[in-house]
Amino acid sequence: MAFQLVLPDSKSVSQAPSPLAYAVDRTFFYAAAAGALAIILLVIYILWEIGGQALPAIGRSGASVLVNTQWDVQNSSFGILPQIWGTLYSSLMALLIGGFIGVSIAIFLTQDFLPHSLATVFRTLIEMLAAIPSVVFGLWGIFVVIPFVRPAADWLHDAAGFIPFFSTSLSGPGMLPAVIVLSIMILPTVAAISQDAIGLVPYKIKEAAYGLGATRWEAILKVILPTASGGISSALVLGFGRALGETMALAMLIGNANQISLSLFSPATTLAALLASNFPEAGAIERQALMYAALVLLAITLVVNVAGTLILLWTSRKMAKA
């Protein structure tokens, strides 16, 4: 059979690229590459700048800042262990609550529990949570969440005060209200990405599970969730990252007390809250210590993100083998 060359005529939709198209293509490539490079450079610059300003504090007190518990401006002795503890504790608790609810919502909205149109409405509503300003969440926490949880907290303290989690009474601002508001704040992130991940599970896998006689919940828990686990864990990591860096709502709700306590009802503080509340009046030496704290916060976020990526790689590799 002879090879037939078909040249595009004026009616064809395809045409040989013009020099202009080449130029546009090239320009776009370089612009995109420059944009990507700029982001990397920006991150490096921020690290460089913060690290540079933190350097005197690091040189002065080294790692002792990480284990000291007193932020004492008068004696220029700074410690951020309570802040690190508060940041990790509040974020982990928020991830526990917000992660569970977020993944549940994702299952509920994607597995035909609801008519499709209603599910879309729900999804939009949950994503709108992400548009509420942090300070509004803070006010809502003070005037709605705290009065709402106080009776339950008082009851728990009276009945089970011997358990470390309930060992103090809830005064108002404290860990529990902060965790509740934080878990609602990370909900849209977790729910949206989990929905996408579950949505990406091929339909034939679900069909096959049903075909083998699995019930709906068996299909969801034993087939669909494991298949989507990579995406869901990255949703959780992103939610955790958001919780680590949240500032305003926490500064309003957590109570600003530099203590390390397991109690959910006692006031605490976080690295971000420390930065927000101490920067305005900080003198030169305190500012260096605050930069050190900012660097620690960056490092924690970085570690969490790297860990998340590794989990993602590991699970997808395991899935490929199975």
Give the residues lining the site for another protein (CB under 8 A): 69-70, 72-75, 82, 142, 146, 150, 154, 157-158, 168-173, 255-261, 265-267, 277-278, 281
Phi first, then psi: what are they for 268, rounded to 5°? Answer: -145, -165
Closest alpha carbon to 236 in 138, 293, 175, 315: 315
Name the minimum Å distance from CB 272 to another protein.
Answer: 15
Query: What's 50's DSSP letter?
Result: H
Q: Which is nearer to another protein, 111 or 150 (CB)?
A: 150
Smallest separation (angstroms) from another protein to the CB of 147 = 10
Provide the minimum distance between the beta carbon of 302 and another protein in the complex, in angstroms, as a whole number.
28
Return the number of the residue (234 or 261) whose C-beta is nearest another protein.
Answer: 261
**Phi/psi-derived region of residue 213, left when phi > 0, alpha when psi is between -120 and 50, beta in every other case:** left
Distance CA 16, CA 269 (A): 63
Looking at beta carbons only, is 22 or 279 nearer to another protein? 279
Least distance in angstroms from the C-beta of 97 to another protein: 23
Residue 215 gets the label, from left (phi > 0), alpha (psi -120 to 50) or beta, of: beta
- Nearer CB in complex with another protein: 4/75: 75
Nearer Cβ to another protein, position 240 or 265? 265
Q: How far is Cα 234 from Cα 305, in angstroms, rounded to an integer?
A: 9
Q: Are 182 and 272 in contact (CB under 8 A)?
A: no
Shortest spacing between CB 132 and another protein, in angstroms = 21
